[in-house]
Amino acid sequence: MLLGVNIDHIAVLREARKVNDPDLLEAAILSANLADQITIHVREDRRHTNEFDLENILKYCKCVVNLECSVDMIEYALKYKPSRVTLVPEKRQELTTEGGLNLHNEKLQKAINALKQEQIEVSLFIDPNLEDIKKSSSLNADFIELHTGLYANIYNALYTNINQTSYALPELILSKNELKKLLENELQRLKQSASLAKSLNLKVAAGHGLNYKNVKNIVDILEIEELNIGQSIVARSVFVGLEKAILQMKALIKR
């Protein structure tokens, strides 16, 4: 299984003080030597990474670069030409991406066509449901990335003490049996979605909320060939360093 390291959260730390420390390019070069690709998300509000980061990383990192962006930001993808663009939904008020793309956005097919014309691989970040898999195929995407956020939230509610903290999600304050059932259902949705995508010749990635504790169930879905993980790797790096954090995740996802 391939590992993409999302370095946005290093940029979050940089932006906290508005200085070039930590240096995102240094993080990208280190990560590129250990992982299979670098992922960055240039948001419309430039809250962490920006187009200068994208240009710099593409110039100096000789690795696969996966740019996450909204449909309204593809001008930067067309200008700088990363290896892959993952189209994601985006809302200014959200802390992080909250769900999959609306595949019926009238701008989406035009964006996909423009990217593919420039020989940029296109991935769609979608919720794990069969209709969205079929639609992704009809849109002529190369990849789909399954949103694992709900799986991760249920896992946390079931196997950690998060429900006793201020970070609890009200809809997941349930009995253990109810949470186990929800987790089984969400894993089944992920498995069915990955299987259908593979049968339609779509490459399958997954990401969002994955960490060192919950990743094993996703690794066991053999149709998924790549994981994109950021926050948990960067959080672990505070204690063990970025290199060791990446290597520890690589060891966990090894098949």
147 classed as catalytic: no
User: Was 99 annotated as part of a binding site?
Assistant: no
Instruction: Determine whether the annotation assigns residue 9 to a binding site.
Output: yes
- Whether 4 has a binding-site annotation, put simply, is no
CB 212 within 8 A of CB 252: yes
Q: Helices marked H in the chain — which ranges?
A: 8-17, 24-32, 51-60, 74-80, 108-117, 130-138, 149-159, 176-199, 215-219, 231-240, 242-253
41, 90, 145, 147: the active-site residue: 41
Asked whether residue 48 is marked as a ligand-binding residue, the answer is yes
Give the sign of the dihedral formed by CA 55, CA 56, CA 57, CA 63. positive
Catalytic residue among 68, 90, 186, 223: 68
Tell me whether residue 185 is annotated as binding: no
Q: What is the DSSP letter of 73?
A: G
For the beta carbon of residue 22, count every other beta carbon within 10 angstroms: 16
* Residue 8 annotated in ligand binding: yes
Q: Which distant-in-sequence residues (6+ apart) come within 8 Å of 202 by Cβ?
A: 133, 136, 137, 141, 142, 143, 144
Q: Give catalytic status of residue 68 as yes or no.
A: yes
CB 31 within 8 A of CB 237: no
Bridge partners of 146? 126, 206
Q: Per the annotation, does 17 bind a ligand?
A: yes
Contact between residue 144 and residue 202 where contact means Cβ atoms under 8 Å apart: yes
Structure-block tokens of residue 24? 């995102």
Tell me whether residue 100 is annotated as binding.
no
Q: Please name every residue paired with 37 in a beta bridge, in sequence order, or none if there are none.
A: 4, 64
Q: Can 41 be counted among the known catalytic residues? A: yes
Q: Determine which one of 90, 145, 147, 208 is catalytic.
A: 208
- Which letter does DSSP use for residue 141 in this model? -
**129 a known binding residue?**
no
* 230 labeled binding residue: yes
Between vectors from CA 7 to CA 116 and to CA 50, what angle results, nearest 5°? 65
Tell me the binding residues. Answer: 6, 8-9, 17, 43, 48, 96, 209, 230-231
- Annotated binding-site residues for 1-deoxy-D-xylulose 5-phosphate read 8-9, 43, 48, 96
Active-site amino acid positions: 41, 68, 208
Annotated binding site for 3-amino-2-oxopropyl phosphate: 6, 17, 209, 230-231
